[in-house]
Amino acid sequence: MPEARIQARSDRGSRHPTRTHVEPPGGSLLEVRIDRRHAEHSVSEILRREGAESHLIDCRLTDQTPRRLLRWLDIDVEPERMDHLLHALRRRLPLRHLALARLGPRRVLVRVSEPAPAACTATYRAGGLCVSCPLQAREEGAPWRVILPRGARTRAFLRDLPRASTTPPAIVRLRPYRSKTTLTLRQDRALRIAYDLGYFAYPRRGSLGDVARMLGTSRSTTLELLRRATAKLAGLRYGDDLHFRRPL
């Protein structure tokens, strides 16, 4: 594999200091982004074809050889497409690799086992953490994004990737890695106070000024905190970070 590009990203001059984050032990983190599209998995292909939305509950690699990727998905699809979706899943996968539980007219809980992509296996071996996955993306060609400590683990990850199936990953140095959907302590407190005061109620019971007085901040600062916090909560639903970020 050609040598991967390493780009340093400096925090100096940043408008958003990461005051609540701590530098990880053992050096900085790297985000490994694999831009080339990987082979499509059957479940993801079916979901896109049926216009269904899937929300990842959990995923892990099995211990068997070759490894398989076991995923639990909460799937939402139009009621008139539900039977067609379930039929397509049962037709594509053997019963031992598929379990279904209908949760309502448009929701179904699915446990599925498929061959593990090379990026998943490499992440597991290197002790990395997936933060986005093309199997969960709403559009084709979405990248893998994996977080790894810089050094031996990153080299092991790159070494395990199949040479013929991927272009050189772009590696970005993070100091530290900052999730797009993790609230800071100030944002969490602002959101809680606003909720308790009825700022989000309809009709509204608490004003922006009430929230600002409780926080001891100006109205403009309070509004910025609330907007950034709600944007991150929206990111949990519509963003590209996985709902549960855990090693595979």
DSSP track, 21-41: --PPTTS-EEEEEE-SPPPPP
Residues in the chain: 248
Are residues 131 and 232 both part of a single domain? no
Structural domain that includes position 10: 1-38+117-177
Examine residue 247 and state whether it is found in any structural domain, yes or no.
no
Are residues 109 and 164 both part of a single domain? no
Are residues 137 and 193 both part of a single domain? no
3-class secondary-structure state, position 109 = strand
Local confidence pLDDT in tens for the 248 residues of the chain: 333 333 333 333 333 333 333 333 445 778 888 765 545 567 888 888 888 988 888 888 988 888 899 999 999 999 999 999 999 999 989 989 999 999 999 999 999 998 888 888 888 888 888 877 777 766 666 777 888 887 888 888 888 877 655 456 666 555 455 666 778 889 999 999 999 999 999 999 999 999 999 999 999 999 999 999 998 888 777 764 444 333 33
Examine residue 201 and state whether it is found in any structural domain, yes or no.
yes
Are residues 60 and 72 both part of a single domain? yes
Are residues 218 and 192 both part of a single domain? yes
The pair of structure tokens assigned to 10 is 């400096």
The pair of structure tokens assigned to 197 is 């005061």
Q: Contact 226/112 with Cβ under 8 angstroms?
A: no
Q: pTM higher than 0.85 for the full model?
A: no
Are residues 2 and 98 both part of a single domain? no
Beta strands in the chain (DSSP E): 5-7, 29-34, 53-61, 68-76, 98-102, 107-115, 129-132, 144-149, 170-174
Are residues 53 and 106 both part of a single domain? yes
Strand partners, 148: 30
